[in-house]
Chains A and B, each alone.
Chain A
Amino acid sequence: GENVEQHPSTLSVQEGDSAVIKCTYSDSASNYFPWYKQELGKRPQLIIDIRSNVGEKKDQRIAVTLNKTAKHFSLHITETQPEDSAVYFCAAWRSPLGFGNEKLTFGTGTRLTIIP
């Protein structure tokens, strides 16, 4: 099955600096890669996603890059703010048998702390 690895597990960044979180996946059939932000005790919130036919996507201070050949994708947060502090999860989506058998596999998470 799919295996998603995420690094680093913890990351502390000075406010205003950039943060980068990296993920690798194992299943070449995965074709959709969302990123979630989860605050303590709350539900994961989708913050950005990228599909396999795209190499990069940007939404204001957040960007995601995808290298399908190397099977890795990264989240970039620029001009970090205290409210960016949370746990971030990458995920990979695969549909091995067509519609009806899809599932998300999550990375292990990165606890991001923004230092004021």
Chain B
Amino acid sequence: GAVVSQHPSWVICKSGTSVKIECRSLDFQATTMFWYRQFPKQSLMLMATSNEGSKATYEQGVEKDKFLINHASLTLSTLTVTSAHPEDSSFYICSASAGQRIAGFDEQFFGPGTRLTVL
């Protein structure tokens, strides 16, 4: 199956610093990438959807100036958490779809996640 990687797998940073998380599709071209965050023992909440070469679409309640998303190529999307605070500590997961529209759905392939801890 399609492989999606994320880097780093975990990061600890001080409050006020910015953290960049990379999401890569390794063996396919991802027309769309999705960013989710997941708090402990909770569900995945979609933060934003990004298409290569265009601005990301953010979900209601997600600050676009705080969570900067760049989908620079068909294999790479980045999420930058700017001026991180302890409440931003979470598990961030990306997913990518190849745009192969089988019966109206593009299967999303998930990355392994990045655990962010802000001190």
List residues of A whose CB falls within 8 A of some B CB: 31-32, 41-46, 51, 89, 93, 95, 99-109, 111
CA distance A105 to B105 in the complex (A): 13
Q: Does B46 contact A (CB under 8 A)?
A: yes
Question: A106 → chain B, closest Cβ, in Å?
Answer: 5
- Are B105 and A93 within 8 A (Cβ)? yes
Question: B56 → chain A, closest Cβ, in Å?
Answer: 12
Residue interface bits B29-71, CB-to-A below 8 A is 1, else 0: 0001010000001111110010100000100000000000000
Contacting residue for A108 out of B43, B51, B101, B104, CB 8 A: B43
- Are A106 and B44 within 8 A (Cβ)? yes
Chain A residue at smallest Cβ distance from B101: A99
DSSP class of B's interface residues: helix, strand, loop or mixed?
strand
Q: Which one, B13-21, B72-80, B82-90, B109-117, is touching chain A?
A: B109-117
Query: Counting chain B CB atoms within 10 Å of each CB, which of A43, A106, A108 scores highest?
Result: A43
Question: B1 → chain A, closest Cβ, in Å?
Answer: 9
Contacting residue for A51 out of B93, B103, B111, CB 8 A: B103
The number of inter-chain residue pairs (CB within 8 angstroms) is: 51
B residues in contact with A42, CB < 8 Å: 112-113
How big is chain B's contact interface, by range?
20 to 34
Question: A34 → chain B, closest Cβ, in Å?
Answer: 8
- Are A103 and B43 within 8 A (Cβ)? no
CA distance A43 to B9 in the complex (A): 11
CA distance A95 to B41 in the complex (A): 28
Using known A-B contacts A43-B110, A108-B43, determine if residue A103 contacts B105 with beta carbons closer than 8 Å. no
CA distance A31 to B41 in the complex (A): 27
